Amino acid sequence: MNTADLGLPVDVPSTALFTDHYELTMLQAALKAGTADRRSVFEVFTRRLPEGRRYGVVTGTGRVLDAVENFRFDARELDFLRERGIVDERTLEWLAAYRFSGDIWGYPEGEVYFPGSPVLRVEGSFAECVLLETVILSILNHDSAIAAAASRMASAAGSRPLIEMGARRTHELAAVAASRAAYVGGFATTSDLAAGFRYGIPTVGTSAHAFTLLHDTERDAFRAQVDSLGEGTTLLVDTYDVTEAVRLAVEIAGPGLGAVRIDSGDLLLVAHRVRGQLDELGATETKIVVTSDLDEYAIASLAAAPVDAYGVGTQLVTGSGHPTCSMVYKLVARAESTDPKAPLLPVAKKSMGAKTSVGGRKWAARRRDEQGVAEAEVLGTGPVPADLVDRQLLVELVKGGTVVAREPLDAVRERHIEALDGLPLSAKQLSRGEAVIPTEYLVSTPV
């Protein structure tokens, strides 16, 4: 894809420098040692879910595909590497010709994952694969963290729509990715215009307290807003006195007023009072939007309140306590030599502490009971058992360097709903717990 097609302010000409320095020094040393071309398999997985979480949400895969396609070293990048003396001339030459030519398989975006799930598998020469580690992890760790929080919030909100409005609480481009991830996780709309531009997510918004304060009276402000945006607009009613503002809002917009927004105070109490007042004023169809420091627990606690939509900012873009996932990108197998026919050997770090891995190129399948409910995440390195052949999770994303699996974001969003519906009901409980299904290994080689 030409980068010009990608959209814009949120795109960058090349993703090649979103890379840790050591990827390039490893490349240089492997080129010199003659090991750079050994066929290698890297897997992305997490050793654990964030504490208390029942499932993870694979998100960012579409952005990974863009990043791999745009990973190339042009003159500016090469000049920088040369001037800083980061790698030698031979390595610079190799980088100048770099295009990923390998294969990538992965869980389809929106699918759920569990500890050990190989959410992405990158296969090719060591050299071409190792370079992609940093940018792939940046994308998946960020986007999946946001989507996991969004998914829990969507479960808590039930059929009421969620508005993503966290742009101001995170890096300006992370915000765009966060809107995308929130949409995958079940949010309906975003406040972020760049997310609307880049990903087509519906954008919404009407006014802030500043707009009321700009005007001489709340009446002037409401009048100005309704004159410009119509009676279907959402009026913010908590700048001064809520009861007076609600009265004024219906007086000015009429009973066809679209919605009122409450951004402070005891939302449960205020929502009940405002609903009663709106109904008394005949504005029975006017909706109530609440937007004050919400997280999945606050949303759940408002389930019985007369609230029609939730706006979520800070807690969404910071992953509701878990702003990143702990996904890693590990070499799990590599060829004995650079001979293209050399067999793959499983490899794994075997040292102190919890940082060990299971070696070998893995398949993954989700075992289900007779009702179709997931029972276990099964990972293996040998043949796939007959009863799991149709339950496999990995799909082909990149074939010989070419992206083969782009899809619209709405398909990803739908897939997440289906994936969640296939889990035991307790997956949607907000209370802390273990992964909702266990991970089982069927490893055919000693590790």
| Contacting its own copies within 402-421 (CB under 8 A) | none
Examine residue 302 and tell whether it contacts its own copies (CB under 8 A).
no
Closest to its own copies by CB, 33 vs 97, is 33
Number of residues that bind its own copies (CB under 8 A): 118
Contact set for its own copies, span 347-376 (CB under 8 A): 347-355
Phi, psi of 365 (to 5 degrees): -145, 155
Of residues 1, 21, 276, 404, which one binds its own copies by CB under 8 A?
Answer: 21
Give the Cα separation of 117 and 394 in Å (integer): 10
Contacts from 28-31 at CB under 8 Å and sequence distance 24+? 28/87, 28/88, 28/90, 28/91, 30/126, 30/127, 30/130, 31/90, 31/91, 31/94, 31/127
Of residues 121, 275, 287, 334, which one binds its own copies by CB under 8 A?
Answer: 334
Report whether 322 contacts 50 (CB < 8 A). Answer: yes
Examine residue 399 and tell whether it contacts its own copies (CB under 8 A).
no
**Site mask, its own copies, residues 151-180, x = CB under 8 A?**
--------------x-xxxxxxxxxxx---
Tell me the window of 128-136, 376-384, 395-403, 414-422 that interacts with its own copies (CB under 8 A): 128-136
Of residues 1, 208, 404, 411, which one binds its own copies by CB under 8 A?
Answer: 208
Contact set for its own copies, span 22-51 (CB under 8 A): 22-26, 28-33, 35, 38, 40, 42
Report whether 365 contacts 384 (CB < 8 A). Answer: yes
Of residues 43, 66, 238, 296, which one binds its own copies by CB under 8 A?
Answer: 238
CA distances from 414 to 186, 230, 286 (A): 9, 33, 29
Of residues 215, 219, 367, 413, which one binds its own copies by CB under 8 A?
Answer: 215
Examine residue 86 and tell whether it contacts its own copies (CB under 8 A).
yes
Give the Cα separation of 280 and 277 in Å (integer): 5
Helix, strand or coil, per DSSP, at residue 228: helix
Of residues 48, 78, 160, 205, which one binds its own copies by CB under 8 A?
Answer: 205
Q: Which two tokens stand for residue 233?
A: 């607009």
Spatial neighbors of 269 by CB under 8 A, at least 6 apart, are: none
Helix, strand or coil, per DSSP, at residue 216: coil
Closest to its own copies by CB, 18 vs 441, is 18
Of residues 57, 65, 67, 257, which one binds its own copies by CB under 8 A?
Answer: 67
Rounded to a whole number of angstroms, the minimum distance from the CB of residue 391 to its own copies is 30
